[in-house]
Amino acid sequence: MITTQSPTPKLAGKNVLVTGGAGFIGAALTQRLVDDNRVTLFDRGFERSSATLSTAWGHENLRTIEGDILDPVALRAATEGVDVVVHLAAIVGVKNVLSRGRETIEVNFTGTSNLLKALEGRPIDRMVYFSTSEVFGMNSFRAGEETPASVGPVSEARWTYSIAKLAGEHLVTCYHRELDMPTVIVRPFNVFGPLRLGDHAMMRFIVAALKGEDLEVHGDGTQIRSWCHIDDFVDALLRCISLPSAVGETFNIGNSRNTVTIYDLARRVLDLLDSPSQIRFEAIDFSDIDVRVPRLRKAEELLGYRPSVELDSAILDTARWYRQHMADLDPVVATEPSVAGATEAV
């Protein structure tokens, strides 16, 4: 068994393909890999994306491909000669999911199926599939990997995202079980940090606080979330890619110590940034997640994963990046790639 203090494995000399590579996690992972590996980012487009704001953009080991995961021919070409695949591509964002349910299911499930078919028979080292903590439904308090999934009603468009991701989990597991594909399933719990764009509570709060604008809290603010800094998350992801103990497993990845209500988070952001902004409550007309807190025991035992970035430090680090990139954020603050590597529907 790996101890919780084990160093993060170093990956080198590999060809890594990241689908949805224009997005936040893909960009952050690429920054960690690109000096010692050849990284290919596959996405519908890269303009005004996290990837273009990363320190890896323009690196000699970085290649980009504009393509669609619904295109099997493009995927077959992109996967040629790869050693590691990190599958982040998905329709994300509550607004997108609510208005584009059909596309959400097609991209998130059919795109995953296309990728697995493209990889079938190829000698890859690892395929990491990104699912979501939303497979646990409305409440996921200290949810473990074997906690039963909860499927929301068909009448609510919100759940098209989680049902497609859950179906993807089953398909990925079948490829591992039947074809011995070295797969890993990751369920992220509210990851944030430098490079994250798009409609996301932490970004909206920090940017509003820096500008002196109202912080908009949906509902009554009693929703509970656990917040994981991107540095901790990428550490876990590198372990999923590198360690033999990860193959065939599913992992919840987050930071349960950084657990607060949404209202408390808004207050903390205001206090840390010494902002004169006010909090404004807004009613919502869609299903929300009441509680989202992971149990990390499996990741600790099999991966040696132990998140270390505390919430206050993580908020300040993120705020520094947003402050430095405010001119870049203005045209993209409400924009994210339609198929990107974000981690949650909210």
In sign, the C-alpha dihedral spanning 287, 291, 292, 294 is negative
Helices (H), 79-152: 94-99, 101-105, 111-119
Tell me which of 161, 175, 305, 322 is the catalytic residue.
161
Strands 62-66 and 38-43, by their bridges, are parallel
Helices (H), the chain: 24-33, 50-53, 72-78, 94-99, 101-105, 111-119, 160-179, 201-211, 230-242, 262-272, 297-303, 311-324, 326-329
Neighbours of 106 (CB within 10 A): 16
Nearest to 163 by CA among 251, 90, 85: 90
| Element counts in the chain: helices (H) and strands (E) | 13, 15
C-alpha dihedral, 42 to 193 to 226 to 307, nearest 10° = 90
Counted residue by residue, the chain has a size of: 346
In sign, the C-alpha dihedral spanning 184, 187, 189, 193 is positive
> Taking each helix axis from N to C terminus, what angle separates 262-272 and 201-211, rounded to the nearest 10 degrees?
30
User: Identity (one letter) of the amino acid at 161?
Assistant: Y
Between CA 267 and CA 197 the distance in angstroms is: 21
Is 161 one of the annotated active-site residues of the chain? yes
DSSP, collapsed to helix, strand or coil, labels residue 70 as coil
Paired tokens of 1:
């068994």
Between the two ends of the chain, the Cα-to-Cα distance in Å is 34
Between CA 261 and CA 268 the distance in angstroms is: 10
- Among all residues, which ones are annotated catalytic? 161
